[in-house]
Amino acid sequence: MAKLDVVVLGEPILRQKAHKVLDFDGKLHQLLDDMLETMLDEPGVGLAAPQVDVGQRVILVRLPDDAASVEEYGEQAGVLYEVINPEIVKTSKEMVDGVEGCLSIPGFAGRVERHVGVSVRGQDRHGKPIRIKAQDWLARVFQHEIDHVNGVLYIDRAGEVWQITEQPPEVAEPQGRIETVAVSPGEK
Ligand code: CO
């Protein structure tokens, strides 16, 4: 496995609709393994292929499995979901506000309204159809990651976005950039 570079806001690939995966081959498996290493190293609870500069419909989701997370998420803690060509096929009517961040938008967080529950359909790394029912935080992470393969970022949906840490020098964009992107419908 190899750790991949995560691209940040401003890279066009984050705004493009990713391609459907047709080949469930060794190259895909390598991508999935590298994405896992990258996600665990960052660390993050989800990662989409466009974030590592690969325009394919591939996402990973994994809630942490430390003691506190096991208590909070039960059996979902530490389960790795690899979903190829993911689609949300059902959503709860009920919505909930929550705070999100994104590895591709370092130093910021935002408040986003999401469905409390979603059903996700897709394929595993061998092309076999899978379906996942997710609730609460797991459902939120799936919605965030599936947005990524459609070129949508949480800041597009956020009611408010704020800075949480000093911005790393490599993404030294003014905060106004975030606001601009958030209100620009042309970019979707
Ligand atoms: Co993200």
Q: What is the DSSP string of 97-151?
A: EEEE--TTSTTEEEEEEEESEEEEEEE-TTS-EEEEEEEHHHHHHHHHHHHHTTT
Ligand 1: distance of its center to the CA of 7 in Å? 11
Ligand 1: distance of its center to the CA of 103 in Å? 6
Distance, in Å, from the CA atom of 131 to the CA atom of 86, rounded to the nearest integer, reads: 9
Q: What is the pLDDT of residue 165?
A: 81
Ligand 1: distance of its center to the CA of 157 in Å? 12
Which residues of the chain, if any, have pLDDT below 50? 172-188
Q: What is the pLDDT of residue 145?
A: 98
CATH 3.90.45.10 fits 12-187, yes or no: yes
Q: What is the pLDDT of residue 174?
A: 42
The position carrying tokens 């994405």 is 35
Distance, in Å, from the CA atom of 10 to the CA atom of 14, rounded to the nearest integer, reads: 8
What's the pTM? 0.88
Active-site annotation holds for 145: yes
Ligand 1: distance of its center to the CA of 22 in Å? 24
| Sheet with 158-163, edge to edge strand ranges | 95-100, 108-115, 158-163
Domain borders along the chain are: 12-187
The position carrying tokens 């806001």 is 9
Which of the following is catalytic: 42, 71, 145, 160?
A: 145
